[in-house]
Amino acid sequence: MPKKESVEVLTIDGREVRITNPEKLYFSRGVQLSKLDVVRYYLAIAPGAIAGIRNRPIVLKRFVNGAEQEPFYQKRAPENRPDWLRTVTLSFPSGRTAEEIVVDDPAGLAWVVNLGCIELHPHAVRATDLDHPDELRIDLDPGPGVPWDDVRRVAMIASEVLAELGLRGWPKTSGSRGMHINVRIEHRWTFTEVRRAALAFSREVERRAPDIATSKWWKEERKGVFLDYNQNAKDRTTCSAYSIRPLPDARVSAPLEWSEIPECVPEDFTVFTMPKRFADVGDPHATMDASAGSLDALLALAERDEAEGLGDAPWPPHYKKMDGEAPRVAPSRAKRAAKKTGEKKPRMPKMPLITVANSPKKDAALAGLERWKARYPDAASHLAVDDVLVDSMRGRSSTWTRIRVNLRHVPEEIRPAQETPDPDDDPTREWREMYKKSRDAIE
């Protein structure tokens, strides 16, 4: 006889929400948290969590087997959903559409958490206006080995730039190694315009702090804290305030006052500490909606950059090529790409990058990296922290991990050649090969 599924029924504001397998462990490697514990955390800080997602379509990032296993992304709303849970239809750069969930209340919050959504991923638009974002998103993403103090320093510089432009930023820890700054804006600009403003902002911060901040898209060119302007492209989402991150200590994305930035540390904000903080100090971002600002000054800065010859920067993969966009090819491949297209380009040094692992599972990719280091201990001894590039690659419905090694610090005579990665399980390879065949057939 199959084991009967356990269920806990919660009554939330008059609505019943079924929590299936409530005792299932969602965190076990560090802290111990069941699915029901995660639901109760979100209900304890529900006003703050809902403020970050209310009236917004959300992508369901589902950790159905807990935080220690790989998640998958679900854009389309499940067919079997409560009648009281509304949806909205989004269109994507690919031309496809999807009906996505909109969560407005604690019952809806508990319902999506029951699906395994320990993180909340809202779009930067409201369900009432899907073409004009009301939020500029500044994502501070530190590279390998970059200290937390540099993240805080870049955040404070970002605050100064925003103030000079007449905008107010609302900071929060990302819940991992970085920080997010959300800026409420008027519903006047398209996604392309908001991204253009974000790029100009990232470049301005880089100009002021070139030793610790970068706007460079390609990882091999980055140094310090990357300001990810592409988080403002259409169809991109970031985790919202109070989201739990899949780390062993169950830390969360914590909204902060600017005065807290110089002393804050990410590990202080967890599932265990946030409910008391929320009860004691409330939501530091509670008045964000009353602070909508204009992008006019930032767009004027973008115009100045373009007039000085600083054009568009690369977009994420799978977006169509944009007018004025720089070549969408990594510098380490630029010479090969120029030769293929017949373009006359200045000679560029080629970054000695090799791929050592591809896998849908990060742990498997990291294990492959360790095997590579064991095979080539002399080469591995020359690697700096930022010579190992661990890329989280976005597939159609899930992420996969690619690990590359930059051999720039390894003497040429002992540099390993490119081999078949171990493991070599790239889930997009079949799709890319089919795409290439169809393109070649058209040409």
With 80 as the cut, is the pLDDT of residue 340 above it?
no
Element (H, E) at 341: helix 331-341
In this structure, is residue 66 part of a structural domain? Answer: no
In this structure, is residue 309 part of a structural domain? Answer: no
In this structure, is residue 8 part of a structural domain? Answer: no
pLDDT given at position 337: 52
Domain count, the chain: 1
pLDDT given at position 390: 86
Report pLDDT digits (tens) over 12-63: 999 999 999 999 999 999 999 999 999 999 999 999 999 999 999 999 999 9
pLDDT given at position 336: 54
Distance from C-alpha of 107 to C-alpha of 18, rounded to nearest angstrom: 10
Return the bridge partners of 392, or none.
401
Phi (first) and psi of residue 93, to 5 degrees: -55, -25
Q: Retrieve residue 155's tokens.
A: 């955040």
In this structure, is residue 122 part of a structural domain? Answer: no
Range of weakest confidence among 205-219, 355-369, 397-411: 397-411
The owner of tokens 């009906």 is 99
Distance from C-alpha of 386 to C-alpha of 397, rounded to nearest angstrom: 28
In this structure, is residue 391 part of a structural domain? Answer: yes
Indicate the length of the chain as a whole number: 443
Report pLDDT digits (tens) over 173-215: 999 999 999 999 999 999 999 999 999 999 999 999 999 999 9
Under the banding of pLDDT at 50, 70 and 90, the label for residue 389 is confident
In this structure, is residue 308 part of a structural domain? Answer: no
Range of weakest confidence among 43-52, 353-362, 368-377, 394-403: 394-403
Under the banding of pLDDT at 50, 70 and 90, the label for residue 387 is confident
- Secondary structure of 270-281 in HEC code, one letter for each residue: ECCCHHHHHHHH
List for the chain the helix, strand, coil content (%; round to 5). 35, 20, 45
Which DSSP string do the residues of 92-111 spell out, in sequence order? -TTS-EEEEEE--SHHHHHH
Q: Pairing mode, if any, of strands 213-214 and 121-122?
A: unpaired
∠ Cα 206 212 215 (to 5°): 35
CB-count burial class (<10 Å; 0-12, 13-18, 19+) for 393: middle
Q: What is the mean pLDDT of residues 318-336?
A: 69
Range of weakest confidence among 28-42, 118-132, 216-230, 423-437: 423-437
C-alpha dihedral, 152 to 155 to 156 to 162, nearest 10°: 180
Distance from C-alpha of 56 to C-alpha of 125, rounded to nearest angstrom: 6
Under the banding of pLDDT at 50, 70 and 90, the label for residue 316 is confident
To the question of pTM greater than 0.85 for the whole model, the response is no
Element (H, E) at 401: strand 399-406
Bond prior to 423 in cis (omega within 30° of 0): yes
pLDDT given at position 345: 47
In this structure, is residue 362 part of a structural domain? Answer: yes
Cα 293 to Cα 124, 136, 296: the distances in Å are 15, 10, 9
Which DSSP string do the residues of 170-196 spell out, in sequence order? EEEE-SSSSEEEEEEB-TT--HHHHHH
CA-nearest of 323, 320, 345, 324 to 334 is: 345
Q: Which domain holds residue 398?
A: 353-442
In this structure, is residue 23 part of a structural domain? Answer: no
Q: Retrieve residue 349's tokens.
A: 């040094």
Termini Cα distance of the chain: 59
> Angle formed by the axes of helices 191-208 and 148-164, to 10°?
120
Assess contact for 235 and 93: CB atoms under 8 A.
Answer: yes
Distance from C-alpha of 103 to C-alpha of 116, rounded to nearest angstrom: 15
